[in-house]
Structure 1
Amino acid sequence: MSHTSEASGPTAPEQPRPGGTRQAQKEQSRRALLDAGLRLLEHQNLSSLGVRELTREAGLSPAGFYRHFRDLDELGVVLVAESLASLHLMIRRILAEQGEPSELIDRTIAVIARHVREHRPHMRFLARERHGGVQPVREAIAAELAAFTSETAAALGALPDGAGWSEPELRMLAGLYVEHLVATAAAFLEAPTGSRAAERRIAALARDQLRLISIGRRHWLADRPAQD
């Protein structure tokens, strides 16, 4: 005797909704374009990159590019946001550090070096395009670094030794720290891959530069120039 009840068979797996599948495919294509851009921009500037070259690297058609970005400038601005999101986390981590000044300096340099190793394509993109030929990307990088400087200034002002500093002075000090961070990251990027000796030289110079900034910071209030 045969049994034909629907309950006797295994339950069919629930099929993904078509809308969800399309969205996932769209995100996958967008990610492929961004990743392809990072790979190609390891060796060239954004201003020299073409849509056909990018889509060929991503395995997509040129028409597919325009479903995600208006132009390559917009793709570059998105890469800036991605790159500086990770840099933002690094800055917050450094600002949260506590301990003796010499220990903090050592930890800061170690964090920068590790960040460059873990995010090399993004950091190289920032270093290359910060003064590159694509104005919207330059402006996006400048705006993000200015925001980081403001955040750093607020964090410095909240510290006990920030008492007595004016807002412009805190921004000036924060700017020194942010510029030092960016310059140190760029130096690590330019070091020969795997050269421990080069990394040690860069780290030693970066430590001395931070010590110099820290010494000036400790003496600034006592020796600041008179205000007109």
Structure 2
Amino acid sequence: MPVPTLDVVTKAGPVNPERREPDNREPESRAAKKERTRQALLDTAMDLSADRGFAGISLREVAREAGIVPTAFYRHFASLEDVGVVLVEESMRMLRQMLRDARRNPSTKDAATSLGILVRQVHTHERQFRFLCRERYSGVSEVRRAIATEMRLFVSELTIDLSRIAGLESWSSDDLEMAADLIVSTMFSAVVELLDAGTA
């Protein structure tokens, strides 16, 4: 014998409590879900490496904390070292964009303003700066090489910028590159001191 459903009567008419409103939300695409999982793996690896360094974390640990099984990890990255390299590339991309924006802004020509920008950026992107500074000289060799490669690209880009500054046209390419390397090294030293001092 069928069990009758109980209808609730409202001003708008009878309402069946078993009748669900249709979900009008668009289903997440496979590509969007894959990108979300990929980003979760990157964020998890960054967070876990904060205490132990990148060399101290494992693929299984990253996968578990990101909410996937270890075998699913390989749908997104070839290895854990590959995750570290991507973290380096994304962190350095952020840093290069910051300096490009600063160079386009006339108000950043004086040292005080430039230092203020650096302090704010270190505060805003502390995780990325800590990762770069920590892994630059220690840990996984693939990550160290990736940082060294990105630093060379950074120096090359800055060398081109310096060559366009009035008064430096007569400098040789070697001198410009040396100056750019000094600037980048000084900037990273300042970042390390800011992080160690807890300014960030």
Q: CA RMSD in A?
A: 2.0
Counterpart-to-counterpart distance in 2, 1:133 and 1:32? 22
Instruction: Give the count of matched residue pairs.
Output: 178
Counterpart-to-counterpart distance in 2, 1:15 and 1:94? 40
Map 1:1-228 → 2, pairs under 5 A: 16=27, 21-98=29-106, 104-192=110-198
Counterpart-to-counterpart distance in 2, 1:127 and 1:24? 32
Report the alpha carbon displacement of residue 56 of structure 1 after superposing the two structures with TM: 2.0
Instruction: Please give the TM-score of this superposition, normalised by the length of structure 1.
Output: 0.72
Instruction: Please give the TM-score of this superposition, normalised by the length of structure 2.
Output: 0.82
Report the alpha carbon displacement of residue 14 of structure 1 after superposing the two structures with TM: 8.9
| Shift in CA distance, 112/15, structure 1 to aligned 2, threshold 3 Å | closer
> Whose helix fraction is larger, Structure 1's or Structure 2's?
1
Deviation string 1:18-55 (CA, Å, 9 cap, x unpaired) is xx711111111111100111111111111111012112
* Counterpart contact for 1:95–1:152, Cα < 8 Å: no
Deviation string 1:154-210 (CA, Å, 9 cap, x unpaired) is 11110112121000000000111111111111211112367xxxxxxxxxxxxxxxx
AA at the equivalent of 2:54: L
| Shift in CA distance, 52/120, structure 1 to aligned 2, threshold 3 Å | same
Counterpart-to-counterpart distance in 1, 2:51 and 2:108? 40
Report the alpha carbon displacement of residue 95 of structure 1 after superposing the two structures with TM: 2.6
Counterpart-to-counterpart distance in 2, 1:106 and 1:112? 10
Counterpart-to-counterpart distance in 2, 1:84 and 1:55? 24
Larger Rg: 2
Counterpart-to-counterpart distance in 1, 2:111 and 2:62? 40
> SS where residue 171 of structure 2 aligns?
coil
Report the alpha carbon displacement of residue 93 of structure 1 after superposing the two structures with TM: 2.6
Structure 1: runs of 5+ lacking an equivalent: 1-11, 195-228
> SS where residue 41 of structure 1 aligns?
helix
Q: What residue is the counterpart of 1:208 in the other structure?
A: none
Structure 2: runs of 5+ lacking an equivalent: 1-22
Counterpart-to-counterpart distance in 2, 1:99 and 1:187? 24
AA at the equivalent of 2:187: L
